[in-house]
Amino acid sequence: MLKVRSEKVKINFVTPRNGAPEALLANAELVGFIPQAPNVKMVDLAIWSSEKGPWVAFPGRQYQGNDGKKKTARFVRPVGDEWGDMNKLTAFILSEFEKWKDSAPAAGDGGEGEEENPFA
């Protein structure tokens, strides 16, 4: 069972730069999500807007299947058909995003002391 505690897991959000798609709300990375490796981070998460509200895109890679169709291999996915933990992780990321967005600089602002965007 997934147990995410915000005091152990840190999520860094980065405001998109000018020229990013309008629907991209922020890029994100998870730090300390593996208790045995607290200095390991997962990068390349993105928060997107849609008609239904914000959603999280996890890292993946597109490839062409044997049938010639484009497919996506998702790097973060549930074991078997157990989507409950993925839903909890997504909900945690979105709740942290909601807290962050009120203090975030506007897209392309850079903000005072903001780090270089590692996702650009």
Domains of the chain: 10-100 (3.30.1120.40)
pTM: 0.73
* Angle, CA 19 vertex, CA 14 and CA 23 arms, to 5°: 65
Given the DSSP bridges, would you call strands 70-74 and 24-31 parallel, antiparallel or unpaired? unpaired
pLDDT of amino acid 64: 95
Query: Measured between alpha carbons, how far is 14 from 118 in angstroms, rounded to an integer?
Result: 8
Comparing 118 with 95, the larger pLDDT belongs to: 95
Q: Which residues contact 12 (CB under 8 A, 6 or more apart)?
A: 28, 29, 31
3-class secondary structure, 105 = coil
Interval 82-107 mean pLDDT: 85
What separation in angstroms does the CA of 10 have from each of 20, 31, 42? Answer: 24, 5, 11
Query: Measured between alpha carbons, how far is 50 from 24 in angstroms, rounded to an integer?
Result: 10
Record the tokens describing residue 29, joined without a space: 């990375």
pLDDT of amino acid 10: 87
